[in-house]
């Protein structure tokens, strides 16, 4: 089984209920938006004559390389999502809203596991799942890859 399939299957085994997946869809999106918003306040250069380069774009680039090492279609989908969130964060331009979104996103994660799944988050077993979670949700939405049965 390919690494992406193993990671998706393992992550799926922690996210079997629709309620938990729905809570994660909201929570992870808020966490990503919050992260991009907070990192967007750290200007480190220029993308062109009018657009500042921020830590958000650097981290998005590094994330893209990570996802690219797993699967090209998943990487392109994640790049699209992160770029869209970056554009929204730039339009909002308020790191405080990003901080609130980040915190509320983690509340949704906790609710998903405590109320619906009744288990610990997958990232407590494997920190890579912090990166797999957003890809898993995007894969659920776009059906980029079939998710194999639970990992052993």
Structure token pair of residue 81: 């999502």
Tell which residue, 99, 95, 63, has the closest CA to residue 82.
Answer: 63
What is this structure's pTM? 0.91
| Residue 147: pLDDT band with limits 50, 70, 90 | confident
pLDDT tens per residue, range 110-146? 999 999 999 989 899 889 999 999 999 999 999 998 8
Instruction: Round to whole Å and give the CA distance between 22 and 3.
Output: 25
């Amino acid at each position: 089984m390919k690494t992406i399939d193993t990671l998706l299957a393992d992550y799926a085994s922690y996210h079997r209920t629709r309620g938990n997946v729905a809570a994660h869809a909201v929570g992870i999106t808020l966490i990503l938006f919050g992260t991009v918003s907070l990192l967007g306040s750290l200007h480190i250069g220029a993308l062109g004559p009018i657009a500042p380069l921020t830590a958000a774009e650097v981290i998005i680039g590094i994330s893209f390389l990570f996802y690219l090492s797993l699967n090209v279609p998943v990487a392109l989908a994640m790049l699209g999502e992160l770029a869209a969130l970056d554009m929204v964060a730039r339009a909002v331009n308020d790191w405080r809203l990003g901080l609130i979104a980040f915190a509320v996103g983690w509340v949704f994660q906790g609710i998903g596991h405590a109320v619906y799944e009744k288990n610990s988050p997958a990232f407590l077993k494997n920190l890579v799942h912090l990166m797999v979670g957003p890809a898993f949700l995007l894969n659920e939405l776009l059906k980029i890859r079939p998710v194999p049965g639970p990992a052993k």
